[in-house]
Structure 1
Amino acid sequence: MTTNEYKLPDPGEGLTEAEILTWHVAVGDTVKVNDIVCEVETAKSVVELPTPYAGTVVALLVAAGETVAVGTPILAVGDAVAAQEQPPEQAPEQAPAEEHEPVATLVGYGPRERQSVRRRRRATPASADGDGAPDRPIRTLAKPPVRKLAKDLGVDLREIPPGEGGIVRRADVEAYMRTLETTVSPASTTSAEADESSVPVVASPGGRETRVPVKGVRKATAEAMVASAFTAPHVTEWLTVDVSASMELLDRMRRDPDLAEVKVSPLLLVVRAVCLALRRTPEMNATFDADAQEIVLKHDVHLGIATATPRGLLVPVVRDCDRLPMPEVASRIADVVSTAREGKTQPEALAGGTFSITNVGVFGVDAGTPILVPGQTGILAVGAINRRPWVVGDDIVPRWVTTLAVSFDHRVVDGAQGSRFLADVGTLLEDPAQAMTL
């Protein structure tokens, strides 16, 4: 029998592992080249994996919820004829690997002719050795949140009696845990009212607590922020700005038929102001090469838009932002933000940013001290835009006001340069007509 083992491809961007989120195939299914067989989550994105082999699925070598290293075999596919002769529960023969066999990459891996249809999963009987341990990972039917719950609890799904239809549900996991609590840990408990995506609440000497595993995007963000905070000497400056003229301009733009199909928001004018201000202070659009001891000035503005997603903070990039007309900028921002929130951002869409914006105002926050995206020299935080009392001439009148905060790498940018950049952004938002004409 000819059996091919599909190894976890290299996700690129220096990533070395990924978590199997969901299998789209089961043992016994027939697949064609480029059929989607599973979804994996890297530290940057969720990626669908197409199989490079055609035939019958002989074994799922990694269970959903497990994190494995690049190059680990995750799926065994046998040719259709041979697979019919050998029961699917038997262990596949390992194909000999070449000494220098290349590992494929997730990005741009093969042409994708079509999207495969999710197949109905089938339970597979276990083959066991003398002590009853299975010789291959057995595919237990359960939804990904239930698998995650079991993994967080340190429970093997195969030990849990399934419910109706042979499927292990959250209630089954909780019932199994209650049986363990009576003999092992009476103090441990789970929250039956939580949804399937939650983690259990447990008792501790300090009271009830919830422990959330740090992995995926959250782990990558934590590592990146620590590296940035303790590598680049941050300086943050603040500026409060009257943006009433910008708000009036936005009202006129929203009535423009040419902009009817795009979201016109204050962020659009902030992006325009940032791109113009970077022309005058190019050091803000740069990176510090510590190895070469050089400041690398970037000639293109690839703008990162910090986006809160269910998986954590992502900063997708709008490329060549300084060269795009405003309707195109609005469309690109909407696209990268919605894609990030859907968990579909690809690793290459998160790389190569030269400057970033974080809009904390959408949460009603007045301002904040942003941390630099690793490799970048500047980041601008935009606070909430509110009506506040403002001095105009000799009068105090209500105006639309916001607070801007810029952080920069003091190895690259001096105080005078950072101040000039922030003042330029503020001036352009106070008088947006300049931003439209420059």
Structure 2
Amino acid sequence: MSTPQQFLLPDVGEGLTEAEVVTWHVAVGDTVEVNQTLVDIETAKSVVELPSPFAGQVLALLVPEGQTVDVGTPIIEIGTPQAAPSPELEPEQAEEEPQLLVGYGAREATTSRRRRGGARPAAAGSTAVADKPRAKPPVRRLAQVLGVDLASLTPSGPDGIVVRTDVLAAAPMHEPAPASVPTPAPETTQAEPSPYGLETRIPVKGVRKQTAAAMVASAFTAPHVTEFVTVDVTATLELREKVLARREFRDVRATPLAFVARAYLHALRRTPMACARWDEAAQEIVVPGQVNLGIAAATPRGLVVPNVKAADRMDLRELALAIDDLAQTARAGRTTPESMAHGTTTITNVGVFGVDTGTPILNPGETAILAVGAIRRTPWVVGEGADERIEPRSVLQLALSFDHRVLDGAEGSRVLADTAAILRDPTEAFL
């Protein structure tokens, strides 16, 4: 006998109230274990994997992919086996110790825990049934839409899995999908012709919707001031080449951004108020005990700003590794809400797009954000007096936006000037 258990959509952090079901990793009839990944959901912050709180057989997927539901909504039903305690054991010994769920976020292993072979046990009172065809949820959905019976296909995928090409090859040509099978909602919808031609509407939701709201709130709440400086970073790039040749950096992707971040962190030591935040309710300025350095990352789902916790306590190697890890996680769409919480200041690297500079908007709750432009080879005046001459140098532009309620003009200017000075002559600062 099994007991149906419903898994309710949890609040995965930051007091979120809703999430969209993006991808199911299980199907009805699958056997799952505790902590096996069930589904990817997209919150207003990021895409998160939800692990199973139960072990058993999937009875129903209660929410289709693409649908947004409130926290607390049942999303899946799992039949869990009933087990009677052994009479030889004391009652307290018979109680099974609960298994703890792993944290939300990126997978720690790529191997699947889904049942790979053998007939599934029949439920009480029923007869055993043959194995159902094995296919991933998107392939099952495609087969439904095209009216293809998966059981009639010869799998061509690894380990006997039905793949997309198997379904397409068996699909009836020029036949519409059965009317009773709902098709997934498209990401874009076409509207009626307008004076501007045929318009395409793109739903704004999830990360992009949250980012839009946060940027509007920031722009109209904090009085922004932006200052700019152009700096010769030739010496920093020469130092980077020497650093990369060292044994301890052979496995490190130390980009120029890591060196800019290191210089910025040094500058913040002299002006720690640049990491403070304005507490509107208490009418106080709160200065944190450490620097959690945000790195803005553009992803297909929108802008995310994960942060390196206690970045000011890291050496260059640790900082470079942490920045690279944040970037890879963001590109994979696995940035967790916790990694974006409690940031104190941010760097946005617009140079990767070939842009020289910009006027960045503050990450909500922070006082300063540094924009880093593209590094360009530029004719530059070097030397002094009779030794003055023009040479090709590596030059970039920095822009610092700051909240004028927390930093006055002199303090903001000092942060930017100190960062530029270190990048111009990094010898002492990076030792």
Please report the TM-score for the alignment, with normalisation by the length of structure 2: 0.77
Q: Which amino acid aligns with 1:162?
A: G
Shift of 1:243: 1.1
Tell me which residue corresponds to 1:386: 376
Q: Name the counterpart of 1:421.
A: 415
Task: Judge conservation of contact 2:27–2:137 (CA < 8 Å) in 1.
Answer: no
Task: Determine if the alignment matches structure 1 residue 60 to structure 2 residue 49.
Answer: no
Match of 1:423, SS? helix
CA gap of 1:361–1:145, structure 2 versus 1, over 3 A, is farther
Which amino acid is 2:113 matched to? V
Unaligned runs of 5+ in 1: 83-103, 121-139, 148-156, 180-195
Pairs within 5 Å for 1:2-401: 2-80=3-81, 107=103, 116-118=112-114, 143=138, 162-163=147-148, 165=150, 199=188, 204-205=193-194, 206-392=196-382, 393=384, 394-401=388-395
Contact 2:31 2:114 in 1 (8 A): no
Relative to structure 1, is the Cα distance of residues 428 and 28 closer, same or farther in structure 2, using a 3 angstrom cutoff? same
1:281–1:294 distance in 2 versus 1, CA, 3 Å: same
Report if the CA contact (8 A) 2:25-2:137 is conserved: no
Residue by residue, what CA displacement relative to the aligned partner does 1:369-407 show, whole Å, maximum 9, x if unpaired? 111111110000000110112122332222111110000
Q: Following TM superposition, by how much is the alpha carbon of 1:245 offset from its aligned partner in structure 2, in angstroms?
A: 1.0
Post-superposition offset of 1:64: 1.2
CA drift of 1:146 comes to 8.0
Q: Aligned in 2, Cα 1:264/1:32: closer, same or farther, shift over 3 Å?
A: closer
Counterpart Cα distance in 1 of 2:5 and 2:43? 24
Contact 1:354 1:376 (8 Å CA) reproduced: yes
C-alpha displacement of 1:252: 1.5
The count of corresponding residues between Structure 1 and Structure 2 is 368
Seq. identity, %: 54
Contact 2:350 2:374 in 1 (8 A): yes
- Residues 135-191 of structure 1: CA deviation (Å, up to 9, x unaligned): xxxxx99629989xxxxxxxxx98x5534649998x99x9759x9xxxxxxxxxxxx
Contact preservation (8 Å) 1:303, 1:317: yes
**What is the rounded CA distance, in whole Å, between the counterparts of 2:44 and 2:115 in structure 1?**
27
2:161 match = none
2:429 maps to 435
Alpha-carbon shift at residue 14 of structure 1 (Å): 2.0
1:292-324 deviation line (CA, Å, top 9, x unaligned) = 000001221110011122222111111111111
CA contact under 8 A between 1:218 and 1:311: conserved in structure 2? yes
Deviation at 1:118, TM superposition (A): 4.7
Query: What's the counterpart of residue 184 of structure 1?
Result: none
Amino acid at match of 1:28: G
CA contact (8 A) 2:188 2:203 kept: no
Q: Which amino acid aligns with 2:28?
A: V
Q: For the Cα contact (< 8 Å) 1:9–1:71, is it kept in 2?
A: yes
3-state DSSP of counterpart to 2:251? coil
Cα displacement string for residues 68-93 of structure 1 (whole angstroms, at most 9, x for unaligned residues): 110000111223479xxxxxxxxxxx
**Displacement, 1:33?**
2.4
SS of 2:380's equivalent in the other structure is: strand
- Aligned CA RMSD, in angstroms, stands at 3.3
Shift in Å, 1:218: 0.7
Secondary structure at 1:358's aligned position in 2? strand
Instruction: Name the structure 1 match of 2:404.
Output: 410
Deviation of 1:198 (Å): 6.3
| TM-score, scaled to structure 1 | 0.76
- State how far apart, in whole Å, the 1-side matches of 2:374 and 2:406 are: 29
What's the secondary structure of 2:217's corresponding residue? Answer: helix
**Structure 1 residue 358: deviation in Å?**
0.6
CA separation of 1:62/1:197 partners in 2, compared to 1, >3 Å: closer, same or farther? Answer: closer
User: In the alignment, is the contact (CA less than 8 A) between 2:25 and 2:136 conserved in 1?
Assistant: no
Q: Is the 8 A contact 2:3 2:81 kept in 1?
A: no
Kept in 2, the 8 Å contact 1:11–1:106? The answer is: no
Q: CA separation of 1:221/1:107 partners in 2, compared to 1, >3 Å: closer, same or farther?
A: farther
